Amino acid sequence: MANAGPLEQVSPGVWRMCIPYPNVLPYGTVNVYVVADEGEALVVDAGAVGDHVEQLARGLRDIGVQRVRALVATHYHVDHTAGVRDMTARFGAPAFMHPLDVAAFDEKFPAARGTFAPCPERLRVGHRALDVIHQPGHTHGHLHLWLPDVRAIFVGDHLVEEGSVWVGPPDGHMEDYFRALEAVTRSEAEVALPGHGPAIRRPQAAAKRLLERRRMREEQILHILNDGPKALEELTRALYPRLDPRALPFARHTAIAHLEHLESQGFVRRTMLSKDWVMRYARTEE
C-alpha cells in the first residue's frame, strides 16, 4: 500500500496514521484512520494532538482531501478522543460518537462537554457510505464501522492482531464483548482496522482466537478457585504471573469482567470471610 507522508494506505481509499501512545501495550501506538473520496474525508478516532494534528492535515492535503466532513470515535477513551477538540477546530468538522459514550465522555471530561454529538446510523464521504453499528463490549457505546465497498470493518478496541484487549467495568461487559467478537466471525469483512496495531487481514480468525482466549481465561479462573475462595488481587496475580506492572489495572478490570460473567452464569459466587472481611470469589458448589 502507498504512503503519503504520515499516512499509510491500508485499504483502497482508507489511510492510517500511527500515533505514539506509550501507555497502550503491547504496541505503544494508537491509530487514526482516514476514509477519503472525491476530495472529502472522514476521520475515524481522534487520537492526534499537538503537532500530530498538523501532520494529519499535511497528509490529507497530500492525498487530495479538501474537506473533512466529520470525525467519528469508536468509543470515548482518551487515547481515541484526546485530539478531538483540536481536530474539530482545525478542520471545522462535527464529531460523532454513540450517545452512551457521548454521556460517558461528558462526565469524564467536563471541560470538553458538548464536543460530541450522537452518531447517525450512516456516514457519507464523497460517494462512499459507512454503516454505523452499535457493538458494546469494551465500552457501552462502542461502535463498529462497516465500509462495504472494500469489505473493511473498523473495530476500535475489540480486536488486535497480536495479544488481547482489556474489557472491564465500569465501561466494559464480557457478555457484550463475546457478542462483538461473534459478530466479527459472522461478518463478510476481508480486513479489520483496529484501534491499535496493524490491519488484520483475517478478521474472522482473529476474532475466534480472542474468543478462545477469553474462554480459556474463564476456565483458568474456575481452576484457580478449585483451591478455595480468592480475593481479586490474589486471583489477578495467579492469572497474570508475569504481567508488566503498567498493565495491572487493565488486567484487574478484565478479571472483574470475567468474574461477573461467570457469576451471571451461576459458576461463581461472592463470599466474605469473618477472619478479615475481605470479599472473595468462590465456586458456587463450595
| 79 and 30 Cβ atoms separated by less than 8 Å | yes
Quick one: average pLDDT of 238-245?
A: 85
Q: How confident is the model at residue 272 (pLDDT cuts 50, 70, 90)?
A: confident
Residues 247, 157: one domain? no
Please state, in angstroms and rounded to a whole number, the distance separating the CA atoms of residues 188 and 203: 9
Structure pTM?
0.93
pLDDT-wise least confident of 2-6, 53-57, 127-131, 173-177: 2-6
Residues 275, 159: one domain? no
Please state, in angstroms and rounded to a whole number, the distance separating the CA atoms of residues 234 and 278: 12
Query: How far is the CA of 134 from the CAs of 118, 141, 186, in angstroms?
Result: 12, 7, 16
252-271 residue pLDDT tens: 999 999 999 999 999 999 98
Segments forming the whole domain that contains residue 97: 3-213
Tell me the three-class secondary structure of the chain, residue by residue: CCEECCEEEEECCEEEEEEECCCCCCCCEEEEEEEEECCEEEEECCCCCCHHHHHHHHHHHHCCCCEEEEEECCCCCHHHHCCHHHHHHHHCCCEEECHHHHHHHHHHCHHHCCCEEECCCEEEECCEEEEEEECCCCCCCCEEEEEHHHCEEEEECCCCCCCCCCCCCCCCCHHHHHHHHHHHHHCCCCEEEECCCCCECCHHHHHHHHHHHHHHHHHHHHHHHCCCCEEHHHHHHHHCCCCCHHHHHHHHHHHHHHHHHHHHCCCEEEEECCCCCCEEEEECCC
Work out the percent of the chain whose per-residue pLDDT is above 70: 95
Residues 137, 272: one domain? no
| 10 and 1 Cβ atoms separated by less than 8 Å | yes
End-of-domain residue from the set 213, 238, 258: 213
CATH code at position 59: 3.60.15.10
Residues 196, 223: one domain? no
Quick one: average pLDDT of 105-116?
A: 95
Residues 78, 169: one domain? yes
Cα dihedral 138, 130, 151, 44, rounded to 10, equals -50
Tell me the three cell numbers of residue 208: 475466534
Residues 100, 240: one domain? no
How many domains would you assign to the chain?
2
Phi (first) and psi of residue 123, to 5 degrees? -120, 140
pLDDT at 68 over 90: yes
End-of-domain residue from the set 213, 234, 252: 213
Q: 283 forms bridges with which residues in the sheet?
A: 268
Burial code (b: 16+ CB inside 10 Å, e: under 16) for 167-196 equals bbeebbbbebbbebbebbeebebebbbbbb
Cell 457478555, residue?
175
Residues 174, 219: one domain? no
Quote the pLDDT of residue 146. Answer: 98
Beta-strand pair 128-134/143-147: antiparallel
Residues 209, 219: one domain? no
What rounded mean pLDDT belongs to the chain?
92
- Sequence-ordered list of residues with C-beta below 8 angstroms from that of 25, at least 6 positions apart, any chain: 163, 244, 246, 247
Residues 68, 154: one domain? yes
Residues 206, 125: one domain? yes
178-214 residue pLDDT tens: 999 999 999 999 999 999 999 999 999 999 999 999 9
Quote the pLDDT of residue 26. Answer: 64
Residues 107, 193: one domain? yes
Residues 117, 48: one domain? yes
Phi (first) and psi of residue 268, to 5 degrees? -130, 145
End-of-domain residue from the set 165, 191, 213: 213
115-145 residue pLDDT tens: 999 999 999 999 999 999 999 999 999 999 9
Terminal-residue alpha carbon distance, the chain: 57
pLDDT at 286 over 70: no
CATH code at position 221: 1.10.10.10
